[in-house]
Amino acid sequence: MAKKLDRPVLLDIGAIWCHWCHVMDEET
């Protein structure tokens, strides 16, 4: 399953990571 959705999952993780980067940026 992970191999089938390799690209979408990576994009999802990237979007989540970006979101947290913005959140942490606002907090500090």
Q: Encode pLDDT of 9-20 as tens digits.
A: 777 878 888 888
* Residue 10 or residue 2, greater confidence: 10
* Residue 4 or residue 16, greater confidence: 16
Hey, how many other C-beta atoms are within 10 angstroms of the C-beta on 15?
10
Per-residue DSSP letter, 27: H
Q: Which helix (H) or strand (E) holds 25?
A: helix 6-27
pTM of the model: 0.36
pLDDT at residue 2 tops 70: no
Q: Categorize the per-residue pLDDT at 8 as very low, low, confident or very high, splitting at 50, 70 and 90.
A: confident
User: What does the chain come to in residues?
Assistant: 28
